[in-house]
Structure 1
Amino acid sequence: MHTQHDWITTPVTADLLRGALDVEHTGHGVLPHRLPARARAQNTDGQLAMAESQPSGVRLVFRTRATAIELDTLPTKRVYVGAPPRPDGVYDLVVDGVLAGQASAAGGNTLTIDMTSGSVEHRPGKPGTLRFTGLPDTPKDVEIWLPHNETTELIAVRTDGPIAPTPGRGRKVWLHHGSSISHGSDAASPSTTWPALAASLGGVELINLGLGGSALLDPFTARALRDTPADLISVKIGLNVVNTDLMRLRAFGPAVHGFLDTIREGHPDTPLLVVSPILCPIHEDTPGPSALDVTSLGAGRLRFKAMGDPAERASGKLTLGVIRDELARIVAQRAAEDPHLYHLDGRALYGEADAVRLPLPDELHPDAATHRHIGERFAELAFTADGVFGSGARV
């Protein structure tokens, strides 16, 4: 058992963090952000502000021979009125590339959200501490993956041995943008979201700009992608545009072109993969918006339904089918002058046969098993020798 004076306290600094585009200094410590300050200043949407502050793909990375690690953190936990309680966010400990432990932090702030009225109440709370013990007394690379779905202010790391930032391993950096599915909604833990699994299988460093409810072709998100160094880039476009009922077909095509143009300003030759939506039966042929099925809340479940009318497609309303066709057309048009631009139909990651075996529990989001399936499928299609990012073969 370690006594207090055995511990070494290390403040959390940017050189210990991977996967964050910005670090905000708060009254407690540091708050990792997945969008830069300039983008956040241009945003007025509370959903995006919450999503980008949830550190999906963000991890503390250091080298040490410590046998015990403590992390002081101030989480912000979400409570949805009428919905079943959410489990505490999970912190994954990965040692030399292998999951070696999991923990959660008690306490923290509380965000109470009423999805029917749109009201949000913030209640401040106290920091918590999580511990990992019994680690081998040998030099090792340690990663602590922060909860993908819980805003997390980091206060300090304590160890029973010194820690040092881990130099880059020379692996390629994969920058990915998408919706709540890419963010990791309903995955079991932060290192088992589908992008995290795919990155592990592909041997690449992940920067995950999956933004729950907020993959909406925002120009400030495109600029964040443009300005972030990366070797491989993928953008998964479409589901949020439909389920927020954001725009009609007339606006969608030019918005996609503009989004890709902006990325190309900073990455003119980087392999860039455009991924259309995975299968989502409620929105295949029915426009948005999506809405919470209030009747399911009464039964203690969370389910969504499509509120649009299929006949509205004639006036330009978007469905996933319409979006897939448009994305395929846009990429084919641009690829004539952009040899490093690729397209992947999202149904190759999760299609009709997959939906029979692994249905979406709430009609929108995959469960833990489906995240694994999508991650493995993406790694196969993108990161193997014959994949998009392997040999440059078109999918």
Structure 2
Amino acid sequence: MALDKKTVIQLAVLVVLGGAAAAYFLLPDSGALVDSVVGIFEDKPAATTVKKAPAIKRRGEDASAPAAAPAKPKRAAAPVIPNEPVKGMVSGKPFSLERAYVQNGVLVLLSGKDPATAGVSIHGLSKAWDVPAGKNVKVAADTKADSAPGVRVSWKDDADGAPQSREFKDHYTLQLELGAEEKDGKIPGKLLLTLPDDQKSTVAGTFNAEVRGFRIVNGKPDLSADATDTLEYLTLQELLKGDPGRNIADVTFHDQRLAGSGDAMTGYLEVRYRAGDAAPTAERYQFMKAQGEWKVRGQLKLTQIDEAHPVKAPGAKAPYAELFPYLAARRLEAELAKRSPKKGVYDVGFESRIADKYKIGQCEVSYRLEGAAEPTKISYLLRNKAKGWQIERALRANEKINFDNGRIEVAKAAKKK
């Protein structure tokens, strides 16, 4: 489908407003994102002419005499950014760069292994879905908040503690230089950031930021990006197919995921939305990557489960982490088609476990049937037979597998008083 500028803007705004939450210190506010997305496609505004008021002549002044030029204050030399990976202190905790990336105009620097122990993010470096290559930013301590990028820091007081964060809109100093060109999916850069907190948090040094996420390049979507944003864009394109002006609102995405690697990657998501004055509805899409670009593979019914419909069904001797959800999804989908043929199934999750020594396994499935407030759980018993793993039956509510000896144990009923 050919997309005009208006349609692309609508797609962009819907993705921004409907997207699920990202990293803890990643997302700027949605309003700013919407403005910046629209700005990618808008024409350059006409130059504005500002008329200056005439100078006021004061008594005793000679209007023809030029005013004496004020003495220019000497500028202090700019601090030198060290030529080594970013390090420093954040809220009194050591910061040593582990990885860096740029996404939706936000630069994120992370310290510590996965999960990160500290992070620094600088927002508003470019329009959403644009890459801020060549961006240079200098912020003085007296710069007004509305003209400075937002800064957010995140840290943990101890390794097992909950992350804490703080945002800064002014009274900080920043020198940031980003490389003019993206190379091999990364942008080099360097920065020096000093914050006005009690600990005088400071980080400085060099980085090589990975460019992540879906983006618009020269007004066209980059469908090669391995990101859930790409799937969201394609989904909205499907919703607008045949009617680019369709009124869609209250868009939310659920259960977005990518799997595999290279051109064997697949994806899935569920979109919930309202069209015009109609009641809210939902649709499910499966995706695949072919010849370097993502595309819609097909649409599922609300009574179908993604794991039951892979591009290629796993064999009976495939790894259990791949095979068990497939077998359990097919069994559950068939059972629900008999019991509740008109009810959709939502929020499906799988938890698999085996005792290889005893050739016994279990796959617990959690799901919520349409109209139900609480999820339902069912556990399937699997055995590794001559032809590979097979579902034997569903475990009863009072049964459980003892993975230490491979036996099925039955809980004794509580005695009535």
TM norm. shorter chain > 0.5:
no
TM-score, L = length of structure 1: 0.26
**Which is higher, the Rg of structure 1 or of structure 2?**
2
State the TM-score, normalized to the length of structure 2: 0.25
Structure having the higher strand fraction is 2
**Larger helix proportion of the pair:** 1
